[in-house]
Chains A and B, each alone.
Chain A
């Protein structure tokens, strides 16, 4: 399944946020991919996420594919919604 969102945390997918995303993505059986324009990367790879260089306001598309894709999608979205705990 696919879902588009806009990056809403101030620092974007920087090191700390990327670390959190990678750790989360690795918990799922499903593939988790993120794309920005033409570029699609594997969210289970820190290098992939960093090369995406997604900053505040950028639109990305999240794709989860596999047994637990719905659960994975919900969790990933909720991490983005929480702004990676940045503001707290």
Chain B
């Protein structure tokens, strides 16, 4: 009988492979002789790993989220003392130097000797302290591995199975392209590792509870990243079933890639530019593969929060330059920093309600140096790459913020020689206040981008992370549809409207956007082929009629029915595609 577990589908796709269990407690000891001229490097590597281990434990100690008891703190202190111990470190360094062997092996030798010494100690309590040494040695070995990445070889068709996978580890393991699936006990859609998995196009499922303790190393596992389902220990008939499913997925994927080549054009030749939202710059490759015609929004938060310090001008410059790598795109949109007090470490003043707090442009206008550094990096890229960048300002709620931002942008821009058609500035319309001011806003900037996720939450006054509000948080809510209608009614003719957020990749919402006359939709790259295929089957007139009707409806179910009815009637291959909605 097969075993099946369901979790959260993080990154779509279907894959079969052998489990590589990342279990920090069971590290394998690599053995390697080193040359005389490698000794210094090997000693340095060992010392760096010890240092890193010490930092990790110190951090655990300082982590305020863990309410450690005094005993726990003492254990951590004890571990730090072992790491600081000159006898231990000294003996390992000695062994590396004299025996000319790698640090992992040397550490293992010293540890074996120590455990022999301790074997004479009859005190049971002292015997148990040996466990601490092993624990410390594991930690050092893990860090040694991180510091010598050449040692790690991942075989093809590997499925990573882990309790929790750090973004850094995810990148490290997936680098050689042999990992074709990731399943973890913890984690959710918005975790950094999820973002990376999607950017690499690796089928991923998270929140599988105790998957890492249920699967044996080398186990053959089936990962369905569309449905968030993992299966293993399958029998013959189930295997056949899964293989059939895989064939189905493969042909579906093939179709998708056919669709990805389409342009976003309706039956009656209205053109909508289909672009990708990305969260790390290296996602441009996947975006292009799935048929994005540009980057509609690069969220820069990951860049800012993945390290302890905000990135410098140069670091940002290098990152933004990545976006134009291999000339995949000629134009990208960079949204300036959209974080609030809740996401900033060491922020002494905790806000009661960060979603309504100092975030987005509000934060940038208070922390002008951070804002200017980001602008400098953007201009530097435009100047050196001669490519077009659209700057997108988040969380605008009044005209004053736009004036101030434009003033700062102009000021910084003076230091660069930039062709005027290589730069445009837009505003994210995501507050009801911005909707009411959209006419004036549109006159001040080059384009507007409707940020549907936040606009929905602010319109309905409902936190979108609050699961108990799931029935309220719906983009089919009459107030949301009317909000969108208000925007298209009030903007001056020929205003360039883009839509970003979850709503943009819901096929059912396409009629709304087509009827509104939007020029651009920006979404997760993997939704692009599906949306393109749907656009091709719709016509402007059909959409206008349906939306007119929707504007008179008063419940979100009715609106959803009305919209999906149109899609169902018009779209070829509707059934096969809706199966894989992710």
Contacts and interface: CB of A to CB of B under 8 A. Distances in A.
Contacts of A47: 82, 85, 87-88, 114
Given A16-B74, A19-B74, A46 B123 contact: no
B385 to A, nearest CB: 54
Contacts of A50: 118, 121, 126, 129
B310 interface: no
Contacts of B75: 15
A46 B84 CA distance: 9
Contact of A23 (B81, B82, B86, B123): B81
A19 B78 CA distance: 6
Interface string B80-100: 011001111000000000000
B117 interface: yes
A45 B117 CA distance: 15
A30 interface: no
Interface in A22-68: 22-23, 42, 44-48, 50-51, 53, 55
Q: Bin chain B's interface residue count.
A: 20 to 34
B439 interface: no
A22 B85 CA distance: 9
B86 A16 contact: no
Nearest to B88: A47
Given A51-B117, A51-B121, A53-B121, A15 B129 contact: yes
A16 B121 contact: no
A14 interface: yes
A47 B123 CA distance: 15
B53 to A, nearest CB: 15
Contacts of A14: 125-126
A79 interface: no
B70 to A, nearest CB: 10
Nearest to B83: A46
Given A19-B77, A53-B121, A48 B126 contact: no
Nearest to B121: A53
B171 to A, nearest CB: 36
A31 B114 CA distance: 23
Nearest to A16: B74
A14 B178 CA distance: 48
Given A14-B125, A45-B87, A51 B118 contact: yes
A48 B85 CA distance: 9
Interface string A1-23: 00000000001101110110011
Interface of A is mostly: helix
Given A14-B126, A53-B123, A53-B126, A46 B85 contact: yes
A29 B80 CA distance: 21
A23 to B, nearest CB: 7
Contacts of A11: 125
Interface in B107-126: 114, 117-118, 121-123, 125-126
Given A16-B78, A53-B126, A45 B85 contact: yes
A50 B115 CA distance: 12
A44 B89 CA distance: 13
Interface residues of A, number: 19
A53 B87 CA distance: 17
A16 B85 CA distance: 15
Contacts of B88: 45, 47
Given A19-B77, A19-B78, A12 B85 contact: no
A23 B84 CA distance: 11
Contacts of B78: 15-16, 18-19, 46
A47 to B, nearest CB: 5
Nearest to A12: B123
A55 B123 CA distance: 8
A45 B91 CA distance: 12
B82 A46 contact: yes
A17 to B, nearest CB: 11
A42 B87 contact: yes
Contacts of B114: 47
Contacts of A42: 87
A11 B126 CA distance: 10
Contacts of B123: 12, 53, 55
A22 B121 CA distance: 20
A38 to B, nearest CB: 13
A19 B86 contact: no
B81 A48 contact: no
B439 to A, nearest CB: 68
A44 B85 CA distance: 8
Contacts of A46: 78, 81-82, 85
Contacts of A55: 123
A2 to B, nearest CB: 22
Contacts of A23: 81
Nearest to A44: B86
Contacts of B132: 15
A84 B121 CA distance: 22
Nearest to A26: B84
A22 B77 CA distance: 11
Interface centre among B75, B78, B117 (most CB of A within 10 A): B78
Nearest to A23: B81
Contacts of B81: 19, 22-23, 46
A77 B82 CA distance: 23
Interface in B422-472: none
Nearest to B90: A45
A2 B77 CA distance: 29
A70 to B, nearest CB: 24
Interface of B: 74-75, 77-78, 81-82, 85-88, 114, 117-118, 121-123, 125-126, 129, 132
Q: Which 6 A-B pairs have the closest CB atoms?
A: A53-B121, A46-B81, A45-B87, A47-B87, A15-B78, A45-B85
Given A15-B74, A45-B88, A50-B118, 5 more contacts: A14-B125, A14-B126, A46-B81, A47-B114, A55-B123
8 contacts: A15-B129, A19-B77, A19-B78, A19-B81, A23-B81, A46-B78, A46-B85, A47-B82
